[in-house]
Amino acid sequence: MKIFKDKHILQKEISKTKGISFVPTMGGLHKGHISLIKQSKKSKFKTLVSIFVNPKQFNKKSDYRSYPRSTKKDLKKLKNLKIDYLYIPTFKDIYGFKPKEKVFIDKFSKKLCGRFRRGHFEGVLNVVNRFLEIIKPRYIYLGKKDYQQLYLIKKHIEKRKIKSKIIECKTIRENNGVALSTRNLNLNDNQMKIASKIYYYLYNLKKRIKKNYNLFNPNRVKKDLRDLGACKIDYLENYNIENFKKINRQNKKFNIFIAYYIKNTRLIDNI
Ligand code: AMP
């Protein structure tokens, strides 16, 4: 595994390869990230993982500061996985140049997390646009756990006619159903149990409302979730996962999208 901190040295190395399969992360690596990396390793291109906690996508400084970091452990995991390249850029390496492409922000960025984390997706697309320009990957591996993010990156790539192909990767869950997330490191055992109950509640709800959508009563659901231990619910909405249209009748393709807090930890999922 070769480690790079400087984009020019990285680009020199990349120019010697047939192409790159790229897995962007913010570190705090868990089995979700690892499944993306394993899929990337199956491609015919060299696997490059990046670790960069992007300050521009955090709408609160305190959230940026408390975001879990575990670089030493991450390095060990990546070495064991035998990835080809690791890119750990500095802020200046990423933001010290003007990208050729302008970021395209689809209107769906205003919904769901965009309503509650102002500037979040602008920050995500800004950094992804820069990574795409530096690395020019053949493939980019993204998790469906962050479905809205994946959708907005897809729209940017389409609009700007960027030649990288997105590989959509399924959400990896703990045995108790909770989607793996770096933020789970901030949950204690009891809070993890709450997250698990909320997952099963939503899993069963989806089964029921798939059969009869009239059974969906958002206010009732929110109350039940609060009773289970969710402190604050930013949103609970159903969308068609292909075109992000809202659901108002029987439709088999929807997911339930949720963002909620357990104490100070904000969790998102789509089920
Ligand atoms: P992050 O480090 O949180 O920015 O995530 C890096 C990538 O890993 C993103 O494409 C995420 O969607 C993906 N990811 C995060 N958690 C999971 C998970 N539980 N299952 C699958 N992919 C995930």
191-208 pLDDT, tens digit per residue, is 999 999 999 999 999 999
- Residues 173-190: what's their mean pLDDT? 96
Domain 182-270 grouped into CATH 3.40.1280.30: no
Q: Confidence class of residue 250 from pLDDT cuts 50, 70 and 90?
A: low
- Output the residue whose Cα is nearest ligand 1's atom 18: 32
Tell me the C-alpha distance between 121 and 268, whole Å: 15
Average pLDDT, the chain: 96
Active site residue ranges:
33
* CATH superfamily label, 2-169: HUPs (3.40.50.620)
- Output the residue whose Cα is nearest ligand 1's atom 11: 143
- Output the residue whose Cα is nearest ligand 1's atom 14: 143
Per domain, the residue ranges of the chain are: 2-169, 182-270
pTM value is 0.97
Tell me the C-alpha distance between 87 and 137, whole Å: 13
Residue 135 Cα to ligand 1 midpoint, Å, equals 19
> Which atom of ligand 1 is nearest to 143's Cα?
12
Tell me the C-alpha distance between 243 and 233, whole Å: 24
Residue 266 Cα to ligand 1 midpoint, Å, equals 15
Q: Confidence class of residue 245 from pLDDT cuts 50, 70 and 90?
A: confident
